[in-house]
Structure formats: structure tokens, C-alpha cells
Amino acid sequence: MAHFVIVGAGECGARAAFALREKGFDGDITLVGSEPLAPYERPPLSKGGSNAAPEPKFIAALERYREQSIDLKLDTTVTTIDPATKTIGFSEGQTLAYGKLLLTTGASARNLPGANGASHRIRMLRTHADAVALHAALHPGRHIAIIGGGFIGLELAATARTRGADVTVIEGLPRVLKRGVPEAIAEAITARHRLEGADIRCGQAIEAVREEGNRAVVRLVNGEAISADLLLVGIGAQPNVALAADAGLTLDNGIAVNERLETSIADIYAAGDCCSFPLALYGGRRVRLESWRNAHEQANLAAANMLGEGAEISAVPWFWSDQYDLTLQIAGLADDATVHVRRDLDDGAFILFHLGADGRLLAASGIGRGNAIARDIRLAEMLITARAYPDQTALAASSVKLKSLLAA
């Protein structure tokens, strides 16, 4: 009987295992993960306003794995893949044969150059264990410093302020979210953080980071020192590719896969944060996404293709972030956009449409309270999928329903 093995029991790996069963696969499924906890969702780790440390939000109860005959091996790291014998090896030395293999090894938080692991006061955030340690320090009277004004750093800043801790965010670039969103949205989010009392410092070069006594101290090139009870290093993530590299799989900003999530070696697939793939919607441009929805979509696609469906990636990239009561969403890839059209909605919410030089809608990003922008971003996604060239005056006018542009 066919044996499908999935390495990486996170968002993508767990969803792929269930998707295989939903699609009728009745062979053996083994899902292997390094972490001690059953697969859980990562987005809540940096968010939330309550005082308790985050309880893991499990993707499924353990009984469901048993009911679906998914052999879940936790606290187990795969150390080798031998494509010639179609076996994987574990750190304890045992091996396991596979018919098809799916790599969903995710990504790891990037550390400061030259740093060797995390310490008690200098931490990163990727796992539930990281979150428990961080959240324990989010109290009034505590000072949290955060290196990096990216999504995770800013979300943790919002959570820390909501819980009464003092917060300083240190960003090297001239503004926060430089790689993620356009300036107008970064300005709106920065203004809100400042209103809430967070100290956001952009354009700051760091000279050294050290633990001094019971403090974490960040020395800036301008001579200033920021002393905190705890420091979060939030400078992005890097794909976990060592296993794939040792097995001889082609890498290109992650494990390189084609539009069917096939790697360079037969019967080995990769999906989620660990892989880069071509997006036909953007002329075959190769991207790697670190996004919850991408992990879901690719889990389903990988399962379909392991069963021989030959389906291709077609989804529009989509990402969201929650900070205070604001939600920010981005659909599509905005990098090649030359024109921004702004649509103002009620209560300060707004959307920016990113168009190419030829007028094609490439991306849309927006910010607003709660779900203020959700509907328009969803419709923008449909326009992006349709490769639409929408009328710019109509895009800007909130009185014109985006649905009518879709029909046009």
C-alpha cells in the first residue's frame, strides 16, 4: 500500500494530511514534527489583548489524527532524506520508507548576525514555547524593546502596549513595514502605535546587543543605549531548507518547486513557508510566501498532486495583520506597481489599489477597524485574478461598488 510521509507538522503539513484523507487517500500517512505540541496555528502567538499566555490553538484534536489514521510523530526530527532508496532517517537512527514525500518544514525566526541562539532576555518568536516566554514579560512596569518594525514586531508591540508594558521598537529602515506595505499604510499604523504610547524609532543603526545584569541593552550607533527587561528580535524568518539541501534538492530562496509543488526530485513535494514557486498570474515570477492562507492553499494543492491531479497554483497571495483594533490586509504582489489609487471608506479606513504602468490591477492593500476593508479586498482579489484593468476614477470612488467593476 502507498505510504505518504509529511515532514513538518505545522499549519501546512497537518492540513495536507487531512486533505489527503478528504480526497479519499486510504494508504498510510505519517506526519512528523520536531515540536512537542500537536500542530497549532502561529498567528495568535503575537496577537491578542487578554492577560493570559496564549493557549495553543490546535489545528485538530489528537483524536482526529487517530480517527483519520494519521500517524502523528511529535518531538521527532527528520535528519536525512535518501531519494535513491526513498527513505527518511530520524535523529535516533531509525529509517522510514516513503512512496511520496511532502516537505512542509516551514521557516525559523532570523537571529541577529553573530548571535548564537536566544537567551533569557533576548528572544525570538516562532513557536508556542517562544510566545509563552515572551507573554510572561508583558506587564505594566516592564519595558520591552523590539528590534524590527515588521509584522511580528509590531503585533507584539501592540499586544505589549495593550497589556500595559512600555515598548520601544527599533527599526533600521526609514519607516516600518518597508518591505510589506505602502507608505500611507505604514504611516497610519505608526500613528496608531504612537497614540497608544509605543516609542517607534526608525532609521536607527544598531552597534551592539548585550545582556547586562538583568537587562537587555541595545546600543545604537548614535551613542544612545536602550535598556529593557526583555528584547524581541523580530527581523524576519528564513526557510528551513537544510534537510532538502543535504538531499540534493534544488534551492532558490527556499526549496524550489514548480507550479504543481513538485521539487527537483521525483515523488518529493514541498509546500508552505519553506518553498518558492512560480506565480503564473505575475508572469511566472518566483516567490516565497510566509502566510497562513498560502500554507492552507498549498496543503490542499500538494495533497491533490500527490494523488495525481496535476493541479497548478492559481491563488492570489493574501496576508493579514491585527494590531490593536486595526486590521491590515494585502492581496496580490505590489512590487511592480507604479500607480496607487486610494479609496477612502468610513471611519478612517482606506484601500490602496496598486496598478502596473499599463493599468492592470496588481495588488490591493488596506487598513481599518475590524472587518472594515475585508469585503473590498476580497473583491479586489477577484479583480486581480481576472487580470482586470479597472477604471481608476471608479476605484477611487467609494460610492462605486467594486462588484460592478468585476461585472464590467
Ligand X SMILES: Cc1cc2nc3c(=O)[nH]c(=O)nc-3n(C[C@H](O)[C@H](O)[C@H](O)COP(=O)(O)OP(=O)(O)OC[C@H]3O[C@@H](n4cnc5c(N)ncnc54)[C@H](O)[C@@H]3O)c2cc1C
Residue 317 contacts ligand X per CB under 6 A:
no
Residue 34 contacts ligand X per CB under 6 A:
yes
Residue 366 contacts ligand X per CB under 6 A:
no
Q: Identify the residue among 19, 60, 107, 167 touching ligand X (CB under 6 A).
A: 107
From the CB of 226, what's the least distance to ligand X, in Å? 22
From the CB of 92, what's the least distance to ligand X, in Å? 12
Residue 159 contacts ligand X per CB under 6 A:
no
Site for ligand X in 229-248 (CB under 6 A): 240, 243
Site for ligand X in 183-222 (CB under 6 A): none
The residue (of 317 and 390) whose beta carbon lies closer to ligand X is 317
From the CB of 118, what's the least distance to ligand X, in Å? 14
Q: Please give the Cα distance from 21 to 27 (Å, whole number).
A: 9
E strand residue ranges, 138-254: 143-147, 166-170, 199-201, 206-212, 215-220, 225-228, 230-233, 237-239
Q: x-or-dash pattern for ligand X, window 124-153, by CB under 6 A? A: -xx-------------------------x-
Residue 281 contacts ligand X per CB under 6 A:
no
Q: Please give the Cα distance from 202 to 158 (Å, whole number).
A: 17
Q: Which residues contact 316 (CB under 8 A, 6 or more apart)?
A: 281, 331, 332, 381, 384, 385
Name the residue whose CB lies closest to ligand X: 10
Q: Please give the Cα distance from 359 to 386 (Å, whole number).
A: 13
From the CB of 394, what's the least distance to ligand X, in Å? 29
Closest CA to 216 of 341, 121, 311: 121
From the CB of 30, what's the least distance to ligand X, in Å? 11
Is 199 buried (19+), middle (13-18) or exposed (0-12) by CB count in 10 A?
Answer: middle
Q: Please give the Cα distance from 251 to 109 (Å, whole number).
A: 19
Tell me the torsion sign for CA atoms 182, 187, 192, 193.
Answer: positive
Pairing state of beta strands 87-90 and 95-97? antiparallel
Give contact residues for ligand X (rule: CB under 6 A): 7-13, 32-35, 42-43, 45-46, 77-78, 104-107, 125-126, 152, 240, 243, 272-274, 290-293, 295, 319-321
